[in-house]
Amino acid sequence: MRLIKTRDRRSHQMVRERRSFSNDFKKQVVESILSGSTTQAELAREHKISPILISRWKKDYKAGKFFENVSSQDMARLKLRIRDLERLVGRLTLENEMLKRARDLNTKEKKESLSIVTSRDWEQRKGGAK
């Protein structure tokens, strides 16, 4: 955080000190809100910052303004990585669904293979074993 003294344009008197925050600080504040560890209002009170300012930081964060400039080569590599990970998620989701269906079919077959033995069946089976 950096303090900048500002002046009233008309009277040239010192009015207030304007604070300037680093991108790292802004990023840290926004990430703690997005992670759910604290609320925007709590952070605004804690750091004596306007909630509207934090809202602006969140908007800038989502637009990617707090990140270092990434070279086009790195950006292309990251996009490929994202694409590969999305494909992997899709494959794993399909596999998970197939395994769930197989489990459900197996459970259904086991239930069907179990039969209830009635007293008449029991007598027939007992008699047949003699």
Q: Beta strands of the chain (E only): which ranges?
A: 2-7, 14-20
Specify the pTM.
Answer: 0.43
CA–CA distance, 1 with 19 (Å, rounded to integer):
7
Beta-carbon contacts of residue 29 (< 8 Å; ≥ 6 apart): 43, 47, 49, 54, 57
- Per-residue model confidence (pLDDT) at position 125: 65
Max CA separation in the chain (angstroms) = 117
- Per-residue model confidence (pLDDT) at position 24: 86
- Contact, 44 vs 54, CB < 8 A? yes
CA–CA distance, 29 with 65 (Å, rounded to integer):
14
- Per-residue model confidence (pLDDT) at position 46: 93
Question: Any idea which architecture 1-68 has in CATH?
Answer: Orthogonal Bundle (1.10)
Q: Which two tokens stand for residue 83?
A: 């694409």
- Per-residue model confidence (pLDDT) at position 88: 97
- Per-residue model confidence (pLDDT) at position 16: 63
Residue-by-residue pLDDT tens, the chain, 130 positions:
555 555 556 666 656 677 888 888 999 999 999 998 999 999 999 999 999 999 999 999 888 887 767 677 888 888 999 999 999 999 999 999 999 999 998 888 777 776 665 566 666 666 655 5
What is the sign, positive or negative, of the torsion defined by CA atoms of 90, 92, 93, 94?
positive
| Cα 69 → chain centroid | 24
- Per-residue model confidence (pLDDT) at position 123: 65
